[in-house]
Amino acid sequence: GQNIDQPTEMTATEGAIVQINCTYQTSGFNGLFWYQQHAGEAPTFLSYNVLDGLEEKGRFSSFLSRSKGYSYLLLKELQMKDSASYLCATYNQAGTALIFGKGTTLSVSS
């Protein structure tokens, strides 16, 4: 089976840095995905980590530690538009289902 845990809510201010953590237990790990979902909209793909380490993509970075079953999404220079739900996800072992955590709702204030 699979289990994915992430904090329910986080708050931060404009210009700050925030780290959203995700822990997972899965049989047959095949990489970890991060998605962003604004209210009433479709989830959009942010990043995919399959090897340990940090992947940087503009203001967003994602980190993976396979031995610890742990990932985080790092958002720098926060903007109001970054207020959204951030979803952590992994595939099942067969690759037939992308399983999501419950999501972390980030609120950015001025």
Partner 1 sequence: ETGVTQSPTHLIKTRGQQVTLRCSSQSGHNTVSWYQQALGQGPQFIFQYYREEENGRGNFPPRFSGLQFPNYSSELNVNALELDDSALYLCASSPGQGPGEYSPLHFGNGTRLTVT
CB 32 within 8 A of CB 95: no
Phi, then psi, of 42 in degrees rounded to 5 = -75, 150
CB of 98 to partner 1, least distance (A): 6
Q: Which amino acid is at 41?
A: E
CB nearer to partner 1: give 82 or 85: 85
- Alpha-carbon distances of 106 from 11, 50, 77, rounded to whole Å: 6, 25, 14
- Quote the least distance from Cβ 76 to partner 1, whole Å: 22
CA neighbor of 33 nearest in space, from 87, 70, 83: 87
Range 15-74, binding partner 1 (CB under 8 A) = 30-31, 33, 41-45, 48, 50
Please, what is the minimum distance in Å from the beta carbon of residue 54 to partner 1? 19
First vs last C-alpha separation in the chain: 41
Q: Which is closer to partner 1, CB of 42 or CB of 53?
A: 42
**Which listed range, 12-20, 51-59, 62-70, 94-102, lies at the site for partner 1 (CB under 8 A)?**
94-102
Residue 10 interacting with partner 1 (CB under 8 A) = no
